[in-house]
Amino acid sequence: MREYLSITKALSDESRVRIVLFLSAGELCVCQIIELLALAPSTVSKHMAILHQARLVETRKQGRWVYYRLPDAAGPLAGGAIRWARESLAKDKQVRIDAKAAKAVRKADKEELCARYGRS
Amino acid sequence: MREYLSITKALSDESRVRIVLFLSAGELCVCQIIELLALAPSTVSKHMAILHQARLVETRKQGRWVYYRLPDAAGPLAGGAIRWARESLAKDKQVRIDAKAAKAVRKADKEELCARYGRS
DNA sequence: CCTATACTTCGCCATGTATCGAAGTATACC
DNA sequence: GGTATACTTCGATACATGGCGAAGTATAGG
């Protein structure tokens, strides 16, 4: 029950489910997620901690950057939840916009993107 | 997204997911749910309203009693969510205990059960 | 009608949560 | 080492949520 609740609470917040769907297309570093959600770094960091605690994301540190990705081998509960969320929101407008934005962010130069968190 | 969030928020509370699993075995009236959860009537009523708003339960009024049940033809989102919750918690200890308690409550005499909400 | 029963709604309170900015940590580069 | 970048943690705030009891509504039965 505890695992179920940590997963459903994590995925019942709009920002966090958007993050999970971003990561469905591959890993991202925190500054890219900050850019996509347009939230403060501290806020995103807290969301990532909640997702991590629910075992919905894994982390990888490389130099100055911290990358998050969906688990390579998610537990059955987490895996099913992610799959269900993805299917449920497949046709959502915001999610479609997000997918395009994520594509652009992945192509963008990271140096330029992350400096001062991309706020130009 | 709104529908997704209302469903996941509804199902990310322990009391509410327990209610949904109770109803998987058939409809129950509010006083029976009150008995099973050992919560105040007003609290249960609020939970039922949240589940109803998320289209996770339907209601039927018969005399003094209000019965709740899972939707006969749930929307694809709600149906999938309920199925997923049921599978995810199939082996949960609390849920197993609940299933037995629900069986007993269904057999019990309603007059005796509901009077003063069963607090003897 | 009047009472009792079965909820529901309202008002309140304690706790939890999403957000931010500021301060702290860690890494890279000069 | 010093500075800049990329986070994370801390502290504060505003709002949402879960719980209760009291009061309101609706129905059944004398």
**DSSP for A45-90?**
HHHHHHHHHTTS-EEEEETTEEEEE--TT--HHHHHHHHHHHHHTT
- Record the tokens describing residue A94, joined without a space: 């915001």
* Contact state of B89 with A14 under an 8 Å Cβ cutoff: no
pLDDT in tens, A61-86: 999 999 999 999 888 999 999 999 99
Tell me the chain B residues in contact with residue A6 when contact means C-beta distances shorter than 8 Å: none
pLDDT at A84: 97
* Contact state of B87 with A81 under an 8 Å Cβ cutoff: no
- Record the tokens describing residue A110, joined without a space: 């990271």
What Cα–Cα distance (Å) separates residue A115 from each residue in A42, A48, A101, B81? 16, 20, 18, 41
Q: Is residue A115 part of a domain?
A: no
Beta bridge partners of residue B69, listed in sequence order = B58
Average pLDDT over residues A22-44: 96
Protein A61 CA to nucleic acid C26 C1', in Å? 11
pTM of the predicted model over 0.75 = yes
Average pLDDT over residues A44-63: 97
Q: Report chain B's mean pLDDT, rounded to a whole number.
A: 92
Question: Range of B9's domain?
Answer: 2-111
pLDDT at B38: 95
pLDDT in tens, B54-106: 999 999 999 999 999 999 988 899 999 999 999 999 999 999 999 999 999 98
- Residue % of chain B over a pLDDT of 70: 91
Average pLDDT over residues B34-45: 96
Rounded Cα gap, residues A52 and B83, in angstroms = 25
Residue of A nearest to B77 (CA): A88
Q: Is residue B15 part of a domain?
A: yes
pLDDT at A116: 59
pLDDT at A114: 73
Q: Is residue B18 part of a domain?
A: yes
Residue B75 has φ and ψ, to the nearest 5°, of -60, 160
Protein A66 CA to nucleic acid D18 C1', in Å? 36
Rounded Cα gap, residues A28 and A46, in angstroms = 16
pLDDT at A119: 52
Beta strands in chain B (DSSP E): 28-29, 58-62, 65-69
**What burial letters (b/e) apply to A5-28, b meaning 16+ CB within 10 Å?**
bbbbbbbbbeebbbbbbbbbeebb
* Contact state of A5 with B11 under an 8 Å Cβ cutoff: no
pLDDT at A24: 96
Q: Is residue B117 part of a domain?
A: no
pLDDT at B120: 47
Number of domains, chain A = 1
Residue appearing with tokens 């199939």: B90
CATH assignment at residue A67:
1.10.10.10
Using DSSP's 3-state secondary structure scheme, residue B65 falls into strand
Q: Is residue A114 part of a domain?
A: no
pLDDT above 90 for A25: yes
Question: Smallest Cα–Cα separation from B30: which of B46, B7, B53?
Answer: B46
- Weakest-pLDDT range from A9-13, A67-71, B24-28, B113-117: B113-117
- Residue % of chain A over a pLDDT of 90: 85
Tell me the chain B residues in contact with residue A84 when contact means C-beta distances shorter than 8 Å: 80-81, 84
pLDDT at B87: 96
Q: Is residue A77 part of a domain?
A: yes
